[in-house]
């Protein structure tokens, strides 16, 4: 009972975990991290192929950020931004984020997590429409397989069953439209352009059915992460934006994963030609050294909030730790390091190699699709490459493969649709990319042997 494994089982409720399985098998306990590697309690080293949860952009244990945190904590261990108070690192960070943003942002609101950021977006979209005298314009359109977090409003946006089922997520105000995964949802013989046109048509029909005057916003990740690393087909976001503009519907970009270099550009919006009205960022904002997220809003949204406050008084939203001075100082230093070290230049240099190595797995007997952009990607398992038929869900082929990756010194994760994702720290080198995929190839071969031995594949 004294081992950390037993005490973990006894005391910790784990997020996004198969609880019954965890109670039987216990945790993998990580005790240390450095660069692209983490180390478990047994002293074994792993390449962190997911940068933790898509977040440790500059890797683990970045000394500059550690020093910044210590300095900032010594200067001001905490202060808040409520009721007209402000702290200097937050002012600096807001100014920096606005200068970087892929749209003309007016103000930046700080929170602690992506979920809180997206909850804030939902509340702001409603508040904005109340403020401009459109109290019926409230619904949000999200997408099947989108992931926007787990707080009450964010879970309603999320379009993946496991994050909703059983939680009685209130979903009356959220509508879900199609997932733009051409490989999986393209009809037989349908071109990519025809697929995009069909999805755009469905979005238009949804808006017409509900009434544009009832819909406040559309929210999307430029590339769906947890939904399976779904890279949108060419023309998709252009078509969506045209429809939204015509119907006076805000575009909220969820850049929680894509932001800060993951797709190759600073923001996924730039990679895919999106000009949003509001944007949520988190994760890479501090390279996950401390929790912080931010919501950026347009001048039009802020102007209405400001007008409204003349009569309504206090803008009644905020988190105790939103804009924590230590987290803000670390995030600011992180963004400076992005520039000083030309992280985007590095991503541009290594991403083509990452994509080439990743896509080579499409030739493997178990892999139907290998896809990605920048330094993110996924491979999708299929039982039949010709028909794209998937393994029956309980087979857990991707989960088996992820467990074999651990044997071979690689941490990665399953994502929706029986797929395994890759999103390593952005500092990964070309040779480390080779090593990561060499380890994955061994795990994949183990998986093929297991699949054949269990009769899942003839």
Interface contacts to ligand PLP, rule CB under 6 A: 53, 113-115, 118, 147-149, 221, 225-226, 254, 256-257, 282
68 vs 221, beta carbon nearer ligand PLP: 221
404 vs 413, beta carbon nearer ligand PLP: 413
CB of 225 to ligand PLP, least distance (A): 5
46 vs 54, beta carbon nearer ligand PLP: 54
CB of 264 to ligand PLP, least distance (A): 17
C-beta of residue 387 within 8 angstroms of C-beta of residue 381: no
- Indicate the residue whose CB is closest to ligand PLP: 114
* CB-based contacts of 92, cutoff 8 Å, min separation 6: 328, 332
Which helix (H) or strand (E) segment holds residue 192: the answer is helix 192-210
- 3-state secondary structure at position 118: helix
CB of 356 to ligand PLP, least distance (A): 25
186 vs 225, beta carbon nearer ligand PLP: 225
55 vs 131, beta carbon nearer ligand PLP: 55
CB of 8 to ligand PLP, least distance (A): 20
For residue 36, give Cα distances in angstroms to 30, 60, 352.
13, 7, 19
Could you tell me the two tokens for 145? 């397989």
CB of 286 to ligand PLP, least distance (A): 11
CB of 114 to ligand PLP, least distance (A): 2
Q: In the block, which residue shows the tokens 């009685």?
A: 168
Cα radius of gyration (the chain): 22
Distance of CA 331 to the CA centre of its chain: 18
CB of 229 to ligand PLP, least distance (A): 11
C-beta of residue 260 within 8 angstroms of C-beta of residue 336: no
The CA distance from 344 to 342, in Å, is 5
Closest listed residue to residue 431, CA positions, set 12, 6, 36 = 36
Question: Beta strand 45-48 with 410-411: parallel, antiparallel or unpaired?
Answer: parallel
Q: How many CB atoms lie within 10 A of CB 383?
A: 19
User: What is the 8-class DSSP label of residue 57?
Assistant: T
258 vs 366, beta carbon nearer ligand PLP: 258
35 vs 117, beta carbon nearer ligand PLP: 117
């Amino acid at each position: 009972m004294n081992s950390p494994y037993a005490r973990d089982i006894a005391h910790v409720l784990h997020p996004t975990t198969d609880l019954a399985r965890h109670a039987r098998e216990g945790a993998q306990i990580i005790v240390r991290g450095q660069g692209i590697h983490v180390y478990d309690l047994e002293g074994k080293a792993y390449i962190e192929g997911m940068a933790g949860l898509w977040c440790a952009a500059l890797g683990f244990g970045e000394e500059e950020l550690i020093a910044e945190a210590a300095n900032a904590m010594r200067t001001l261990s905490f202060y808040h931004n409520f009721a007209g108070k402000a702290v200097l690192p937050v002012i600096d960070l807001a100014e920096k984020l606005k200068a970087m943003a892929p749209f003309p942002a007016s103000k930046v609101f700080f929170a602690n997590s992506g979920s809180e950021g997206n909850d804030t977006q939902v509340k702001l979209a409603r508040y904005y429409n109340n403020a401009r005298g459109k109290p019926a314009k409230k619904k949000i359109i999200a997408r099947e397989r989108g992931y926007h977090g787990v707080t009450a409003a964010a879970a309603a946006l999320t379009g993946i069953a496991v994050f909703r089922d059983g939680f009685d997520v209130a979903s009356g105000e959220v509508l879900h439209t199609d997932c733009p995964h051409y490989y999986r949802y393209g009809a037989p013989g349908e071109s990519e352009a025809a697929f995009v046109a069909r999805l755009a048509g469905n979005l238009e029909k949804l808006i017409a059915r509900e009434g544009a005057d009832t819909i406040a916003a559309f929210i999307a990740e430029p590339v769906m992460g947890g939904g399976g690393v779904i890279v949108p087909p060419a023309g998709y976001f252009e078509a969506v934006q045209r429809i939204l503009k015509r119907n006076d519907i805000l575009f909220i970009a969820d850049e929680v994963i894509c932001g800060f270099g993951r797709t190759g550009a600073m923001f996924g919006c730039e990679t895919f030609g999106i000009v949003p009205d509001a944007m949520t960022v988190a994760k890479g904002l501090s390279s996950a050294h401390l929790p912080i997220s931010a919501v950026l809003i347009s001048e039009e949204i802020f102007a209405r909030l400001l007008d409204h406050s003349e009569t309504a008084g206090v803008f009644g939203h905020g988190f105790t730790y939103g804009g924590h001075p230590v987290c803000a100082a670390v995030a600011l230093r992180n963004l400076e390091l992005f520039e000083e070290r030309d992280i985007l230049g590095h991503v541009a240099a290594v991403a083509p190699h990452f994509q080439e190595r990743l896509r080579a797995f499409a030739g493997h007997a178990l892999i139907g699709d290998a896809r990605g952009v920048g330094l993110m990607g996924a491979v999708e398992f299929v039982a039949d490459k010709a028909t794209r038929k998937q393994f029956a869900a309980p087979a857990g082929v991707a989960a088996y493969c992820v467990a074999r990756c651990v044997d071979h010194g690689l941490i990665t994760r399953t994502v929706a649709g029986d797929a395994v994702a890759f999103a390593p720290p952005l500092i990964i080198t070309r040779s480390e990319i080779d090593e990561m995929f060499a380890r994955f190839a061994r795990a994949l071969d183990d998986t093929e042997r297991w699949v054949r031995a269990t009769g899942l594949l003839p």
